Amino acid sequence: MNFLPEKIDDYVVNHSQEEPNLLKQLNKETWQKVLNPRMLSGAFQGRVLAMISKLIQPTHILEIGTYTGYSALCLAEGLKKEGMLFTIDKNEELEGFAQKYFDKSLYKNNIKQLVGNAIDIIPTIPQKFDLVFIDADKCNYSNYFHLIIDKMNSGGVILSDNVLWNGKVVAPLEKKDKDTEAIIAYNKLLSTDSRIETVILPIRDGLTISRVK
């Protein structure tokens, strides 16, 4: 769903920073070889993620949902030199794909891939986070939030992708649509939890920025 008129959307993209060459290669290979390439963050949202990370200058980042590594590389652009990004995905078949691009990047020593169930892995990471990006299975968004909120540094930021869910959040809810139901509940959670302040940006499929007080 386009939340902006196509001409305005094109104008915004054309007047925003261009994606780096390595990410262009990753983007192209994902569309050529990987199922569901629309899951990729893409050039414009990637630049948004990179900009937010650069403004925060995090020491530790957590990403829930690696896919082919595009968003991780964007987020890593803002890391402090000694910083570390932990990225979790349950799809072990894509681990090598993402690692290939991590190894080609300037951040090969700052990104650690973790393969498995994020609900099990998150409690094993001892670090507290300055920035978290949630972009995985929608039914567990609220569970992820509850796992990470006490692992956030004060002033830390939680980014949540797909929170407008192709516009389904304002459409009549179908009984078997558990993903939409979960996203609606998650959006309500973020807007009412007193530990954070939240805004939704209606870009692409919706991106929430939640700042920990």
Digits of tens for pLDDT over the chain (213 positions)? Answer: 667 888 998 999 999 999 999 999 999 999 999 988 888 888 999 999 999 999 999 999 999 999 999 999 999 999 999 999 999 999 999 999 999 999 999 999 999 999 999 999 999 999 999 999 999 999 999 999 999 999 999 999 999 999 999 999 999 999 899 999 999 999 999 999 999 999 999 988 999 999 999
CA distance 1 to 89: 26
Q: How many residues does the chain have?
A: 213
How high is the pLDDT of residue 2? 67
Kindly list the strands in the beta sheet with 152-161, ordered across the sheet, starting from the edge strand earlier in the chain. Answer: 111-115, 84-89, 60-64, 129-134, 152-161, 207-212, 196-201
Residue whose tokens read 């993903």: 179
Question: How confident is the model at residue 204, as a pLDDT?
Answer: 87
Tell me the C-alpha to C-alpha distance, in Å, between residue 209 and each of 55, 193, 213: 13, 13, 13
Helices and strands in the chain: count of H runs, count of E runs: 8, 7
Which pLDDT score is estimated for 148? 98
pTM of the predicted structure, to 2 decimals: 0.96
**Euclidean distance between the first and the last CA atom of the chain, given in angstroms as a whole number:** 32
Q: Which of 80, 68, 2 is nearest to 41 (CA)?
A: 68
pLDDT at 132: 98
Rounded Cα–Cα distance for residues 38 and 75 (Å): 19
* Cβ atoms < 10 Å from Cβ of 69: 27
Instruction: Name the nearest CA neighbour of 98 among 112, 84, 109.
Output: 112
